[in-house]
Amino acid sequence: KEWNNRIHPDDALSMTKAIDSYLSGKSDKYVHEHRVICKDKSIKWVLSRGMIVKRDKHGKPLRMVGTHTDITARKLLETRLENLAHFDALSNVPNRTLFNDRLKLALSYAKRERKMLAVMFIDLDLFKEINDLYGHETGDIVLKKVSRQLVSCVRESDTVARMGGDEFVILLPIIDSEEDAISVAHKIIESVAQPIKVEKTHLHVTCSIGIAVYPHHGKDEKLLVINADMAMYQAKKSGKNQAKFFEEAMLQ
């Protein structure tokens, strides 16, 4: 009973199901990974294995023995490796791979429920000049701070990802209208334009944003990203520090 009370609440149901499945004969072994809450309130990952060692004359399980192995170190390593695969090492926001996965899921939902979503392609203005003048270390600090600003401008359900260099992309998986997207874009433009302090220097960057909305500006992931990118280049060409929606005329 004391052991069961220490099982992390989020893992208790799956552990109970795994035990019940084994005891009822639906599965031929009991093996389960779950978290336990220690006396000092720290959380450890445990691998539990168990087997029935005694049954009554009707075959009903009477006694079960097992082992518990601490696998916390392995789980931490798995998390780190997963982060390397899906998150940008510099800014710690999702990378291109994770963004594409989330866009695919969001698009599938939008098609099924007949909803709108928006993809925003963002490129920093004046970033190359900062890199050339102050060096890559300063440039990296600017990218980290801009990443945090972008995240602060969107909802938890939205995704900010770094595509590489000074290019970012944002997924707004559910919007009611194009006005929702342009409202977020204006918020981002204002936030990014705030001076960034690096040591004693105040640096200034702005951003150009291109927006593609499903279903108006593309019906698949690839086209939405390409069209948002095209709109971003148009925003840059038109004077920078602004947002533009994709338009068919941009293809000419």
Query: Could you give the angle at which helices 96-113 and 72-86 cross, rounded to 10 degrees?
Result: 80
C-beta of residue 139 within 8 angstroms of C-beta of residue 131: yes
Helix (H) or strand (E) holding 35: strand 30-37
Cα–Cα distance measured from residue 65 to residue 58, given in angstroms and rounded to the nearest whole number: 20
Best CA proximity match to 163, nearest among 93, 89, 95 = 95
Q: What is the DSSP string of 103-171?
A: HHHHHHHHHHHT-EEEEEEEEEESHHHHHHHH-HHHHHHHHHHHHHHHHHTS-TTSEEEEEETTEEEEE
Check if 166 is active-site.
yes
**CA 9 to centroid of chain Cα atoms:** 24
Catalytic residue among 88, 123, 158, 166: 166
Q: Report which of 82, 122, 124, 80 is spatially closest to residue 101, judged by C-alpha positions.
A: 82
Residues known to be catalytic: 166
